[in-house]
A and B are shown apart, each in its own frame.
Chain A
Amino acid sequence: MTLAIFFGCTFIAFGPALGLFLFTIARDPLRIIIFIAGAFFWLVSLLLSSLIWFIAIKASDPRDEPLQKGLLIFGVMFSVLLQEAFRFLYYKLLRKAIEGLVALSEDGCSPISIQQMAYVAGVGFGFMSGAFSMINLLADALGPGTVGIHGDSQLYFLTSAFMTMVLIFLHTFWGILFFHGCEHRRWWEITAVIVMHLAVSGSTFCNPLYMGSLVPSYLLMATAATWAYLLSGGSAQNLQRFLLCKSCSVMGTGDPAGSSGYLDQCWGGKRVSQGLE
C-alpha cells in the first residue's frame, strides 16, 4: 500500500479529532489532563471487556464457528455496555473533581465547567477508541500488500478511516449527552446514548456491506450532534449568527440551560465576561 493511503486514512480518521484537540483542548492543562484520563478510562473498560471475552474464548471450543461468532457478538455488546459504565464512573469522578476545584479556587468558581469536562471526556474516549481501532491498520498500510486480494473489500482502509472518524465524533457527542443526562437525572438521555452506541456497534456487523454500517452511523452522528448542540445551549439563531459572522455580545448563551446554582453565577456571566471560556 502506499504513502498516500497512509496519510489519507490518517487524516480522515484523526484530522477532525486533531483539530478539536489543538483548538480546544491543547491550550488548557486541565483539559489535557481530563482528556488523557478519559482515554485511560476507555482503556480500562476495553481491558476488562477483553478479559471477559478472552475467558469466554478459552472456556469454549475453538472449532465451533457459530459459537465463536456468538461469543464475539457478545464480546462487542458487553464491551459497549462496559464503556458506557466507565463513562458513568468518569462522570462521577469529574463531579468530585469539580467540587475539589471549587474548593481550591478563590472565587468559588471552578475553572472548568461540567459541560466542558463532558466534551473533553468525550473527545478522550473517542480518540482512544479511534486510535485502538486504527493505528495498527495505519502501520500495516505503510508496508507492502494489496488490499482485498483474496476477495475481500478493496475499500477496507478507507471505510475503516471513515468509521473511525464517525466514532470519534460520536463519542464526543455521547459524552455531552451522557453527562447532561447524569447531571439532570434524565435517564432517557443516558439510555438513548447506550442504545445509540449499541446500534452503531451492531451496524458494523453488516461490514463489508458498508451501506449498512457507515450510513446509519453518520445519520446517528448527525442526530447526536444536533442534540448535543441544542443541549449545550445552541440554537438556530446562534448558528445563523455564527455563520453570518455577526459579532456576538451574548456569548453567555453558551451556558447550557439548567446548570446548577453556582455554575450559573460562574458561567452565566462572570467568567465569560472575563474572557475565559
Chain B
Amino acid sequence: MITFMNNSDSEEEPCNERTSLMSAESPPVPSYQDGLQPSEAGEVQAHRKRRTGSSRSPNNIADGNMSDSGVPVREGTLENEEEELTLKYGAKHVIMLFVPVTLCMIVVVATIKSVRFYTEKNGQLIYTPFSEDTPSVGQRLLNSVLNTIIMISVIVVMTVFLVLLYKYRCYKFIHGWLILSSLMLLFLFTYIYLGEVLKTYNVAMDYPTLFLVIWNFGAVGMICIHWKGPLQLQQAYLIMISALMALVFIKYLPEWSAWVILGAISIYDLMAVLCPKGPLRMLVETAQERNEPIFPALIYSSAMMWTVGMAKPDTAARGPSQQTWDAAEDGREDHRSPSHTDSQMSETRSPVPTRPITSFEELEEEERGVKLGLGDFIFYSVLVGKAAATASGDWNTTLACFVAILIGLCLTLLLLAVFKKALPALPISITFGLVFYFSTDNLVRPFMDTLASHQLYI
C-alpha cells in the first residue's frame, strides 16, 4: 500500500527504524532547493511489509504467506504548504522506487535467462498441490484455480495469525519467526543459487571457499537487515533476497497457477487494504491505537538523511545511525502488515515548529525516504521473471511487462496524490503486467516476427 508520508517530529522520536525511515521534520520550503520537482504523482510512502521468508520448499514449515502491508489511512490534516511539499517530492520518489524495482527485475531476468535450474520443473510446493500435467485444458485450469485458492487461503490465515499475535503482543514470537525466515533466505537459498550459478558457468569452487563466502554474505546480511548497516548495503541485500524469493516462486509455481495467483493476490491486496475489516487495516488501526510502530518487517527504504553543521545537535548525532537503521530490528514479517506506523507516528505528532533558517540548516538536506515492502518487489519480479521464462524466448514480452509494471507504479502514485488515501500498490501494476504479457505474447509477437522476417520497420 502506498500512502503519504507526513512530517515527522524527529527530535522527539526515539531512534529506531521508523525514524530512520521517516525523514526528519520536513524543511521549510525555501531550504528545499532540490530543483523543485512537483509532479503528477503524489508523494510516495509505499510501505509494504511482505513476508518474504516464505519457505516455499516442501520441507519448510511456516511462513507461507505473503504479507502485504496495509497502509494506514492518511490523516488528511496537511496544511497547504505541507501538501505542496508533499507533492513536490513525488517525481523523485517515483524514481527512488523505479531504481530498486528495476534492479531486482534485472537480477531475476538475468538469472532466468542464464541459469537453467530456475526454469526446470522439479516438483511443486506443498501450497500448490495440484499438478498441471493434465491433458485437458479444463482440468488444468481447474487445478490452477484450486492451487490459487489454497495459496491465498494460506496467506490469509497467516496474515490473520500474525494480526492476532500482534494484537496479543507476542512480539518475541514474531521476532523469532522473522529472524528464522531471513536466516533461511540468506543462507540456504543463497547457497542453492550460488551452486546453480557455478554449475552454469562451470566454475569449480571448493567447500572451504564456499563456506567462507556464504558465511560472510549471510552474516553481514543478517546484521544489515536486522540491526545496523550502511544504507546502500542494506538496500542491496533486500533487493537480493527479494530476487531470491522471486526465483523460488518462479521455479516452483506451475505456469498457469502462477498467473492466476498473481491476479488473485492483487485482488486480495485491493480488498485487504480498502475493506474496513481487512486484516491489514485492522493491524494498522491496532498499531495506531497503541501508538507504536507496526511490527517491523522487511521494507525497502531509500531514506537518506544528511545533517551537516550543528543546527540540530541531536539529529546530527543520530544522523548516521538513523541512516543505517533502516528496518533494523525488523525481522521478517509474515503478515501483510501495513508498514505505515512510521507515517502514523509522524501524523500523530505535531509538526515541528519552524526553526529559524540558519546557514547550517541550509546545508542540511533532509530527504524523506520512500519505502516499499519487499512483497511488491517479489511479485513484480515474479511477473517479469515468468514472462522471461515462458514467453517463447521472446525479449519483447519481458520488456513490455517491465514497462507496464513501472507505469503501474507511477499511476498508483498518481492516484495516491489524487485521492489522498491509502491505496494498494499491487493491483494496477500487476493488472497492466498481466494484460501486457498475454497481449504481447499472443498478438505482438507474431506481428513483430513477421515484420522482422521481412525486415520491415514500423
Residues of B within 8 A of A105 (CB): 36, 38
- Nearest A residue to B396 via CB reads A132
CA distance A36 to B406 in the complex (A): 8
Contact B457 A200 (CB under 8 A): yes
Chain A, residues 112-145, CB within 8 Å of chain B (1/0): the string is 0000000000000000110111011101000000
Q: Does B394 contact A (CB under 8 A)?
A: yes
Chain A, residues 185-216, CB within 8 Å of chain B (1/0): the string is 00000000000000011001101100000000
Among A33, A50, A97, A137, the residue within 8 A (CB) of B447 is A50
Residues of B within 8 A of A37 (CB): 407, 410
Contact A43 B436 (CB under 8 A): yes
Among A33, A156, A200, A201, the residue within 8 A (CB) of B91 is A33
Contact A40 B443 (CB under 8 A): no
Q: Does B105 contact A (CB under 8 A)?
A: no
Q: Which of A39, A43, A54 has the most CB of B within 10 A?
A: A43
Residues of A within 8 A of B444 (CB): 46-47, 50, 132
Contact B410 A137 (CB under 8 A): no
Residues of A within 8 A of B457 (CB): 133, 163-164, 167, 200-201, 204
Q: Does B41 contact A (CB under 8 A)?
A: yes
15 A-B pairs (CB sep. < 8 Å): A36-B410, A40-B404, A46-B458, A47-B436, A47-B440, A50-B443, A72-B456, A111-B38, A132-B396, A135-B395, A136-B395, A137-B452, A139-B393, A200-B457, A201-B457
Chain B contacts with A in 316-374, Cβ cutoff 8 A? none
Among A54, A136, A204, the residue within 8 A (CB) of B396 is A136
Chain B, residues 21-53, CB within 8 Å of chain A (1/0): the string is 000000001000001111111000000000000
CA distance A129 to B451 in the complex (A): 13
Residues of A within 8 A of B410 (CB): 33, 36-37
Contact B40 A100 (CB under 8 A): yes
Given contacts A28-B37, A32-B98, list 9 more A-B pairs with CB under 8 A: A29-B95, A49-B458, A50-B444, A76-B456, A76-B458, A105-B38, A106-B84, A133-B451, A204-B455
CA distance A133 to B447 in the complex (A): 11
Give residues in A with beta carbon < 8 Å to B.
28-30, 32-33, 36-37, 39-40, 43, 46-47, 49-51, 53-54, 57, 72, 75-76, 79-80, 83, 97, 100-101, 104-106, 111, 128-129, 131-133, 135-137, 139, 156, 159-160, 163-164, 167, 200-201, 204-205, 207-208, 276
Chain B, residues 199-219, CB within 8 Å of chain A (1/0): the string is 000000000000000000000
CA distance A107 to B444 in the complex (A): 45
CA distance A83 to B95 in the complex (A): 26
- Nearest A residue to B99 via CB reads A32
Question: Are A136 and B394 CB-contacts (below 8 A) given A30-B91, A50-B443, A159-B455?
Answer: yes
CA distance A257 to B198 in the complex (A): 60
Residues of B within 8 A of A131 (CB): 396, 399
Contact B456 A201 (CB under 8 A): yes
Q: Does B195 contact A (CB under 8 A)?
A: no
Among A40, A49, A72, A104, the residue within 8 A (CB) of B454 is A72
CA distance A159 to B456 in the complex (A): 11
Residues of B within 8 A of A106 (CB): 29, 36, 84
Chain B contacts with A in 78-132, Cβ cutoff 8 A? 84, 87-88, 91-92, 94-95, 98
Residues of B within 8 A of A30 (CB): 37, 39, 91
Chain B, residues 388-428, CB within 8 Å of chain A (1/0): the string is 00000111100110011011001000000000000000000
Q: Does B446 contact A (CB under 8 A)?
A: yes
Number of B residues with CB within 8 Å of any CB on chain A: 44
- Nearest B residue to A41 via CB reads B407
Q: How far is the CB of B93 from chain A (nearest CB, A)?
A: 8
Q: Does B439 contact A (CB under 8 A)?
A: yes
Contact A33 B94 (CB under 8 A): yes
Contact A51 B443 (CB under 8 A): yes
Residues of B within 8 A of A49 (CB): 447, 458
- Nearest B residue to A30 via CB reads B91
- Nearest B residue to A57 via CB reads B446
Contact A29 B455 (CB under 8 A): no
Q: How far is the CB of A260 from chain B (nearest CB, A)?
A: 19
Contact B439 A104 (CB under 8 A): no
Closest 10 CB pairs of A and B: A104-B38, A29-B95, A29-B91, A207-B455, A50-B447, A50-B443, A79-B458, A135-B395, A50-B444, A30-B91
CA distance A46 to B446 in the complex (A): 12
Residues of A within 8 A of B452 (CB): 133, 136-137
Residues of B within 8 A of A43 (CB): 400, 403-404, 436
CA distance A114 to B270 in the complex (A): 36
Contact A135 B396 (CB under 8 A): yes
Contact A32 B95 (CB under 8 A): yes
Residues of A within 8 A of B98 (CB): 32, 36
Q: Does B450 contact A (CB under 8 A)?
A: yes
Among B36, B440, B443, B455, the residue within 8 A (CB) of A160 is B455
Contact A54 B403 (CB under 8 A): no
Residues of B within 8 A of A32 (CB): 95, 98
CA distance A100 to B444 in the complex (A): 34
Residues of A within 8 A of B150 (CB): none
CA distance A1 to B175 in the complex (A): 54
Q: Does B448 contact A (CB under 8 A)?
A: yes
- Nearest A residue to B94 via CB reads A33
- Nearest A residue to B29 via CB reads A106
Chain B contacts with A in 119-176, Cβ cutoff 8 A? none
CA distance A163 to B394 in the complex (A): 21
CA distance A136 to B29 in the complex (A): 48
Residues of A within 8 A of B393 (CB): 139
Question: Are A101 and B38 CB-contacts (below 8 A) given A80-B458, A133-B457?
Answer: yes
- Nearest A residue to B113 via CB reads A139
Q: How far is the CB of A80 from chain B (nearest CB, A)?
A: 6
Q: How far is the CB of B43 from chain A (nearest CB, A)?
A: 12
Contact B458 A33 (CB under 8 A): no
